[in-house]
Amino acid sequence: MLDGSESSKPFDIRRIIGEASFHFLQKCAPNCFQTVDLVILYSSLRLPIEELMELPSFQSAKLWRLQFKECDDFEACVAKKWIQLDVDVKSTMEFKYDEEYKTVDDFVKEMGAIDIIERTDILVRFKTRNQKKHMTMKRMHWVYETYLFTLAVISADLEEKNYESYIDL
């Protein structure tokens, strides 16, 4: 892991893939990341996601693929930040909850005022500030007493029947 790496200057990294500690990510140069691909589903490493989304190094990242364990605000901080950054279509975040009672409604409550286009028991689709993009939050399935959820940025003209193939889940 890069956590012990030292440098007199901030690390200027364009793409990060895999696992990284919050301490290492704090050492990265402002606006350095263009692509973020972090996977923290099965390790004991727990990143403070709300703080992670505010790190200066992530403020220019346009393509995201995140896989995390549960988060305190049901990933609404990620959705709000992605809307602010106008991230690329096909940016996705997968996360899991061991609690059976977590629903899409919990996410909608955490998001606050959003313009909902479509809503079912397992999915919500809503507008972003960019009229060419929408976001979806979908509760995927229950496996080993865990629900898997996916947050994704999609093209505004994408039909529901094409969600899964488009998002590449």
- The residue ranges of every structural domain in the chain are 10-157
Q: Which residues contact 106 (CB under 8 A, 6 or more apart)?
A: 74
Which of the four pLDDT bands, split at 50, 70 and 90, describes residue 5? low
The conformation of residue 88, written as its DSSP 8-state character, comes to: P
pLDDT at 126 over 50: yes
High-pLDDT (> 90) share of the chain, %: 15
Q: pTM for the full model?
A: 0.79
At residue 28, φ and ψ (nearest 5 deg) are -85, 150
Task: Look up tokens 């992670």; give the residue.
Answer: 52
Interval 103-116 mean pLDDT: 85
Q: Which residues contact 49 (CB under 8 A, 6 or more apart)?
A: 68, 71, 72, 73, 75, 77, 78
CA distance 41 to 82: 20
Which of 77, 86, 65, 81 is CA-nearest to residue 150? 65
Helix (H, G, I), strand (E, B) or coil at 26: helix
**Higher pLDDT pick, 84 / 67:** 84
Q: Residue 146 in contact with residue 155, Cβ under 8 Å?
A: no
Q: Which residues contact 79 (CB under 8 A, 6 or more apart)?
A: 107, 111, 135, 137, 151
**Predicted confidence (pLDDT) per residue in 130-157, tens digit:** 999 999 988 877 666 677 888 899 999 9
Task: Give pLDDT, residue 98.
Answer: 66
Q: Residue 28 in contact with residue 11, Cβ under 8 Å?
A: yes
pLDDT at 29 over 80: yes
High-pLDDT (> 70) share of the chain, %: 79
Task: Give pLDDT, residue 134.
Answer: 95
